[in-house]
Structure formats: structure tokens, C-alpha cells
Amino acid sequence: MRLVVFDLDGTLINSEALIIETVRESFAEVGQAIPTDDAIRSISGITARDAMGILAPGVDSDRIDVILDAYRATYLRKAGLAREPMFDGALEALDRLQADPDTILAVATGKGHAGAISLLERHEIIGRFNSIQTPAHNRGKPDPQMIETAMERAGIGREATVMIGDTSHDMKMARNAGVKALGVSWGYHAAADLEAAGAHLVIHRMDQLVDAVDKLLEA
């Protein structure tokens, strides 16, 4: 048996334009200096509170709450299947993985729990995953707890687990959990950043994903 753990945003879901737009509009709404697009890309994958603290340095906890409320309200107003499509080939990759009876799938995402569940339900793929791990019940990336919880739920050890993600936070989380780290270059962080964060392998096309999982878990 083996466990394949997926990040969502930037890995299975193409949300970059929506996330950048949402941050820019919510910061403007509350009169906070608008961060650069590169700064917004850099925080993808970590908890929303941690992200806002990085994007609005030096502000106190009450101000972070104001920014978070604006961000969440803006996101809920804008989100939908048209703004958060799956990457081309993602469904086919999930199908190929699930065709193997010895493969279990899970999610480890920095999204809020309700948002992650809603997104997976809207794409009608939630039933494919053994568990959905979010910071609501775990420490956020790069802490390994989300992967550790997914392994516990699946009954799979670290030697048979791979984490697939598009950010350095995903790669560091995988390394901290002692599992294989598979980076994808079509998301928020560049391939060089994924490699620097400890990726065992970086792929550049969705049709390479299943073969890469096989390679890493057979090594």
C-alpha cells in the first residue's frame, strides 16, 4: 500500500489569479498597503493568519483580524468553479492513481477547512480522498502534522508516502515528515525554489505525475 498526499491550490487547483486578486482587493478595502504579486505568491500554502502577518508586517493581532475578515469575505464573493478550475490533466492523473488498488489519496492544504471541503465538493472529487487535512485540526505548513495525520488515518508509513505540492512550504513539510517530496512547477513557486526546499523530484507537466510517484516510491 502507498499514500499520495496532494496540496490543492497551485497543485490540483488553478487559483493563482483569484488569490492574488482577492488579496489586493481586500487589502485596499481596509486601507492596508497592497503587497506585490510576488509576495502574495510566496505565502501560498501557509495558514491565512500567518500569510496576512507576512504580507502586513508590523501590524497587531486585531489588525490582522480585520484584514482576515476582509480577505475571507472577498474570497467568498469571488470564488467558484470558473475562478478555481482544476488544472488540465488533474482528473486523469487522479483516475490513473486510483486505478491502482494499493494507492490511497489524501489532501494536505493550507486552506481553511470549510473552504477546502467546499472546493472539493464543487469539483465532485471529495470522495476520492481518504482524508482532508487542514490547519483547522493540525499545525500549518511546514510543520509535518498534516502529513502525519494523513498517514495515521490511512495506516501507511512514511516510507510509502509522497507529498505533492507546488510550494517550498510543501517540500519542507514533506521533508519534516520524512516522506518523499514531489514538486510541481506549474503552481506558485519556481522549480528552483522547490529544489532548494528539498524536493526529491520536480515535474513540469501533469502527465508526468503518476510516473514520478511510481519512481519515488519504488526508489
Complete edge-to-edge strand list for the sheet that includes strand 132-133: 132-133, 103-108, 2-6, 161-165, 180-184, 201-203
The size of the chain, in residues, is 219
**Which of 9, 166, 170, 193 is flagged as catalytic?**
9
**Which of 7, 166, 170, 193 is flagged as catalytic?**
7
Contact present, 174 and 56 (Cβ < 8 Å): no
Across the range 101-126, mean pLDDT stands at 95
| Structural domains of the chain sorted by starting position, each given as residue range(s) with its CATH number in brackets | 2-14+85-218 (3.40.50.1000), 16-78 (1.10.150)
**pLDDT per residue as tens digits for the range 161-215:** 999 999 999 999 999 999 999 999 999 999 999 999 999 999 999 999 999 999 9
pLDDT at 219 over 70: no
pLDDT at 23 over 80: yes
**pLDDT per residue as tens digits for the range 149-160:** 999 999 999 999
- In this prediction, residue 80 carries a pLDDT of 78
Which residue in 162, 144, 113, 177 sits closest to 11, CA to CA?
162
Contact present, 49 and 68 (Cβ < 8 Å): yes
Across the range 91-109, mean pLDDT stands at 98
Q: Is 7 a catalytic residue?
A: yes
pTM > 0.75: yes or no: yes
Q: Is 9 a catalytic residue?
A: yes
